[in-house]
Structure 1
């Protein structure tokens, strides 16, 4: 009985200690009442993390606190709060927070998951090296055009029969990175290439050298391990996101064929049928630009931006956030902010068109995040999306035997990404 009493007292002390640590700083943003030991885990619906966080946004406002166990996490929602933190105070909110599902693999390396001096060095090195190999230059646009031509040839092999284009699109966008990193592209059936694709797929399912004398410096960040993690970041960023965006776009066009037709009219007028699309064509294609921006807003591929971390104690919107606290910027709340978009939950290209039908920017469009941690591959992704999409519509008309509902067109959360439903469509040669 004495031993049982000691165990019971110890357990109660543990609960009290945990509870006290949760509430010792009462100037954190508001949030649901946490339970001892498990925090707010009961407030998160199984398999519906983002939806649960959005419900709490409506209940507690743009800045609120959640506890995962005894550890507080600050969730930031809506355009104004998002901009105020990640853009206006990017020095404070710009560090990378913990990502438990990936930290054991990345070990704080690469471009995406590193911090401090390591992050600055590897980001600068990666950008400089990619630029040296043609990234962002006219020659790189030519590689994209060539890959888009290969996509068209691959789609023609379907002979207008129903097909799922996922594999074709993923092959194309990974091949573009290969052409920069390795200096050559691969045939889609190449065994080495298919092995690389399978590795990239597996990772998603589970979630020139400048070394010189550097190798003798024990503090150097230019190691083979750092190089591999940097390459990993480039491949992961390029392999799935643009492919997923393009599949969202084609599904939307099947639901709203009038959108596809308007884009094709613009393609025929500006580009014609005798040459490949170029990035400069965008300037004369306001409707196409508006649709592409709306596809990225509506599909909202990364609804929960990767965690951030505050680098020092900070007062934010009247609340105190201590140094080292993880920040969850809920990016989907920016793209679903009713103060920024007239119909936030519906596909509507007019969000990016003015009264004269010209393209207009919207600062709340943030598919690549914002601030210091904005996606380093933004320009490449936008170029890939435009050239591939317009080349496909230049050569094919889309059709499907199935009629899709608005619910089926809406993005579906799979893990940390919003993905379209699996579907087939026909590419009818023009």
Structure 2
């Protein structure tokens, strides 16, 4: 192998196995894909040690991808359940899974996930630091924090959220600009607390070159974390968020100089009318790097329904240029998601992603809808189920309420517009009574 990363290969004009596979999935010429990877406008997160991976591309001109969060916590330490979620997420065609485990020795669980997952795997190394060393936050050293990145890279993690943008300069802007919700990023709050407790610079920022060397060695894509993302609509698009975004744009250039692939993480809570502008800001300030949005949740008042608030925002964000949606479940802000919560979150995110792909004119996106329209016009229920984003639910609803006539449903019965138009246009009588 005479290249270090996918970006390095692309700059050298080398078509990798991963590029071929992504081009095939996206119905794109591999040469065009290679050019986008070389520019940093597409990332192919593919750790050299993730042998079970079926690679995906994230970025310009490609289908919008979705990520599923899962992992163990101190209060919910059920490894078997989390592995069941991994398998279900893959079955439901999620392109990425982030292990956000935050308790105990997580390496064994993470290795199992990497071994079985064809989806790309992401992590937030900062979550793992306290549990790995059995130390309080303030007692951790810079070397120990960076070692976690090396450990996870060696295991086969494809992309990592690195909160490098909340440096001392960004922290000062945060202190001067009061927010309703302060810092809501878990990883961001941990690194900010470490900085304050030790009166030091953010180690991810100070030793960013060392982080890049690790990522280049294993071809780990850096997902530059938005530690200062808004946690409520009131905090959106403020000085702190934009200051961090500018820093992330500068870090992006440094990563690309070392052939490390980059994604940028974006806002959490945000009013509908601010989403388009935020997509423009990100693409401009971060040089058209792929954008990974955590929502956006378009209102703060829907606990139990935040998969819906997120899907609304995600569809709008992706239609204006976001490339990667992090799913949100009905359990957001309330508890660790169950398997059923996860299913609902995946479906909501996939709907949002597909709706955006239609709006963006992604090649082949609308063909799925056209096939569904044809099946409905023919009242072909079996084909309708087959084409459904959730066939199981569609079939269950149909069976739970049986109509008098097979070519109708219990909503309209013989008044069904499709049924009657088919009859009239076919020269048949319409018998409603």
Where on the TM-score scale, by shorter chain, does this alignment land: which range?
under 0.3
Question: Under a length normalisation based on structure 2, what TM-score does the superposition of the two structures give?
Answer: 0.26
Q: Which has the higher contact order (CA 8 A, sep 6+)?
A: 1
Compute the TM-score of the two structures, normalised by the length of structure 1. Answer: 0.26
